[in-house]
Amino acid sequence: MMRRLFGGVVIALSAALALAGCGGGNDNPLAEPTTGASASSQGGGTKVVVGSANFPENVLLGSIYSQALSAKGVQVEEKFNIGSREIIYDQVQSGALTVLPEYIGSLLAFVDKDSTARTKDEIVAGLKEKLPATLEILEPAAAEDNNSLTVTKETADKYKLSTIEDLAKVSKDFTVGGPPEFRQRQEENFKKTYGLEFKEWKPTGDATADAIKSGTVQVGNVFTTDPVIEIEGLVSLQDNKNAFGAENIVPLVNKAGVNDTVRTTLNSVSAKLDTPTLLSLMKRVAIDKDDPATVAKEWLSQNGLA
């Protein structure tokens, strides 16, 4: 992700993130399971397919869900690293996937582009109203991984930036980076909420923090639980007008594919998962290069969930 950090630690971080986000090499990740998840019986013998988006944190969360369910005797199949929400949401709706780790604010913005909900309670209420009848969200976790607009400390100091609102005075001279879908999702939101208009939008993906450090972009979308923010001394600007809204992690499920055992188990996971915990788990995956499945298993064991 970054080119240089303390004599090469950044290169190791890049490799760890890449490995954590790599799939099993299938062109169609919905065709075959990516791992050999344990398979006992769920009531009626129904198989629960746990999916994930194609970034390391979502893979970690998918593994937590999968292993927690397996520990309760649920037959589980894992389908990780599928793609962005634009791809994976339809798979949950169709029933090809049963369970997906989601983020409440981004999910609501996807299903209701006119929503103005910003708080956790408002967003949950909006999702319960706008999700199709085939889908439901379970209990959100306290853990929250939000979007951010992040800059180097040098940029923050030079332009006196502490909030996203402060960017309005310089945004026309700035290039902004993020995932390929970032512009489509946020350009109008930024204009409406903060009056931001950027000189250029660049799709920087997983290399956004690197692009910020190198000056390829002056500001970028880095998730708030990414350990690189602290390691590289980057500054995430305060979202003082709540452009992004709450992003608590929540299981999104296809109703027809889950029973009370699945719901109770996943709600128990959410009850234990908070933001500091998620950040510490992601540090192990991204910095220490631990296998996400191993990190998930150890956390579940420590919390009496497996």
The predicted pLDDT at position 196 comes to: 97
pLDDT given for residue 19 in this prediction: 38
Euclidean distance between CA atoms 21 and 147, whole angstroms: 19
pLDDT of residue 45: 56
pLDDT at 20 over 80: no
pLDDT at 206: 85
pLDDT number for residue 44: 42
Same fold, 9-145+247-302 and 150-236: yes
Q: What is the predicted pLDDT for the residue at 27?
A: 37
Report how far residue 222's alpha carbon sits from residue 211's, in angstroms, rounded to the nearest whole number: 11
- Please compute the mean of the pLDDT values over residues 137-142 and round it to a whole number: 98
Q: In the predicted model, what is the mean pLDDT of the chain?
A: 87
pLDDT band at 112 (very low <50, low <70, confident <90, very high): very high
pLDDT digits (tens, 9 = 90+) for 275-294: 999 999 999 998 899 999 99
Domain boundaries, the chain: 9-145+247-302, 150-236
Domain range 9-145+247-302, CATH architecture: 3-Layer(aba) Sandwich (3.40)
Describe the strand order of the beta sheet including 249-254 as a list of residue ranges: 75-79, 47-51, 99-103, 249-254, 135-137
Half-sphere exposure of 220 (CA within 13 A, CB side): 28
DSSP 95-112: TS-SEEEEEHHHHHHHH-
Least confident of 134-148, 179-193, 208-222, 250-264: 179-193
pLDDT tens string 228-278 = 998 899 999 999 998 999 999 999 999 999 999 999 999 999 999 999 999
Architecture of the domain made up of 150-236: 3-Layer(aba) Sandwich (3.40)
pLDDT exceeds cutoff 60 at 18: no
What percentage of the chain has pLDDT greater than the value 70?
Answer: 85
Tokens linked to 120 = 């956790």
Q: Examine the pLDDT at 32 and tell me if it is beyond 90.
A: no
Q: What is the pTM of this model?
A: 0.75
Residue 11: pLDDT band by 50, 70, 90 thresholds? Answer: very low
Collapsed DSSP state (helix, strand, coil) of residue 7: coil
